[in-house]
Structure formats: structure tokens, C-alpha cells
Amino acid sequence: MAVLVGFIPGCGPQIIITSTYLMGIIPLSAQIGNAISNDGDALFPVLAISPKVGLIATLYSAVPAIIVSYGYLLIFE
């Protein structure tokens, strides 16, 4: 779920994910997955110029985010 929140451009959603992690609601693996999948503010101009490229870039960051976050979950948590 946190990886999906990382798809939202901008830093606001990441502040929410970090806050929920600090409150103990989500595990560190979710925080890691969100951090990797986050494209930040750089995604705004890409979506404006070429939405298809923006979608592909988001998917390229999602795959490693899912692998690393589930790997961390299985190994360390």
C-alpha cells in the first residue's frame, strides 16, 4: 500500500507515510518501499510533457520498491 502512495507526485503523501511509521502504524519495510517508489516533484513536469513516459518511469520505480520492501519484510521483520 505504501508503494502505491509513492506514486502520488509531490512530498505531501510521503510526510503522511513517515508520520504513520513514526506512530508505529506501518512497519519500516513499508516506509522503505514508499521511499523507493516516490518520484517526488520531478514527476510533475514529466506528466505535463509526456504522461506515458511518466507512467513508465513510475512503474520502473515500483518494481524495485516492491522487491526491496518485501525482501526487508521477510528477512528483518
Q: What is the pLDDT of residues 46-64, one digit of tens each?
A: 999 999 999 999 999 999 9
Residues 41 and 54 sit within 8 Å (Cβ to Cβ) = no
What residue segments make up the domains of the chain, in order of their start?
Answer: 2-76
The tens place of each residue's pLDDT in the chain, 77 residues long, gives 889 888 888 888 889 999 999 999 999 999 999 999 998 888 899 999 999 999 999 999 999 999 999 999 999 99
Predicted pLDDT at 67: 97
Q: What is the pTM of this model?
A: 0.86
